[in-house]
Structure 1
Amino acid sequence: MDHSEKRIILGKLSAVYGVKGWIKVTSSTQPRENIFNYPEWQLKVGNQWKTIQIEQGRPHGKTLVVKLTDCNDRDQAKLLVGAQIAVYREQLPEITEGEFYWADLLGMEVLTVAGEVLGKVKEIMETGANDVLVVSNKVSGKTVECLVPWLDDDVIIDVKKKKRQIIVDWDPDF
């Protein structure tokens, strides 16, 4: 089975740690340690995906560190820095009605409560205070982006998964 379209990005390998092949991890999971719930990762190194197993993973101060199978020294670890970490969609826990993964929102159409189209979700940024939708649209042949804060009930009014729409209470000129 071709899984290429069903990978969900969970984070990236951000820096080497020590001399024995350990690597710092930037995680997009909540809580961040949940990235270690998947013993097998898909790593995108350059333009290639490869499957790799986790030997050990743990929090280290404000970051996470991981020891991957067959990565035994700093030089091997350096080759993996910057790699995206993904798992296959079917590895994710089942979710209930009304829940969704951030990955489900990508490409969804964003409309105001008045029905005005703001564009499609291009990415989701983590800002610390709240996440922000980066919404992209073509206006007069030019790509325009707007940032919409993810504030349940205040800004995000509804997520219609089947219609692939997000309804927001947001000024399109903001």
Structure 2
Amino acid sequence: MSESVERRILVGRIVGVSGVQGAIKLESWTNPRMQIFKYQPWILKSASGEKEIQGCRGREQGKGMIAELPGVCEREQAAALIGTEIWVLRSALPPPKPGEYYWADLEGLDVVTTEGIPLGRVSHLFSTGANDVLVAKDAERERMVPFVVGQYVAEIDFDARRIVVDWDPEF
């Protein structure tokens, strides 16, 4: 699966500047959020292109996060990065524990019911607080299935690139 080795995962975004020495404010979508600093190098992606950087450091500050990026030492440099996405290679992430899944690994898998009725492909997942929700899309519609393994998600087969769900195809 060489495509998954080079696959990129969006893990955060630069949302502001902090101070006058080039520190940035960032939003992390890792769990826990400080984990973003363990996944390096970062691939910074913006409208002006991409840049790979290594050695990013940071800390939590109140409800936000502050980071220092190598080569960014002035406020103007940091301000130019606002809106930049932070990506990492999938291979930078540790293997998930048994029974855990990276959402990015589930995206693109076919979704079928326990009766074999196709529901589409996983376009994305999102969290509701109560549980995660898997979104399966086909040409006609979009279905939202609670991502609850054992109750609604019967099987995840990465080799077959398929998720089997106990779900009414009309719902």
Name the counterpart of 2:145. Answer: 148
Mapping of residues 1-174 of structure 1, within 5 Å: 5-46=6-47, 48-95=49-96, 99-139=100-140, 144-174=141-171
Q: Which runs of 5+ in 2 are unaligned?
A: none
Task: Give SS of 1:111's match.
Answer: strand
Shift of 1:160: 0.7
Take 1:50 and 1:63, find their aligned partners in 2: how far apart are those partners?
24
**Bigger fraction of residues in strand:** 1
Q: Which runs of 5+ in 1 are unaligned?
A: none
TM-score using structure 2 length:
0.83
Maintained 8 Å contact 1:108/1:164 = yes
Change (3 A) 1:149 1:3: closer
Maintained 8 Å contact 2:6/2:91 = no
RMSD (CA atoms):
2.5
Worse overlay, 59-68 or 13-22: 13-22
Take 2:5 and 2:16, find their aligned partners in 1: how far apart are those partners?
26
Maintained 8 Å contact 2:5/2:91 = no
TM-score using structure 1 length:
0.82
Shift of 1:164: 0.7
What percentage of residue pairs aligned between the two structures are identical? 42
Shift of 1:56: 2.2
Shift of 1:34: 0.8
Q: Which amino acid aligns with 1:135?
A: A
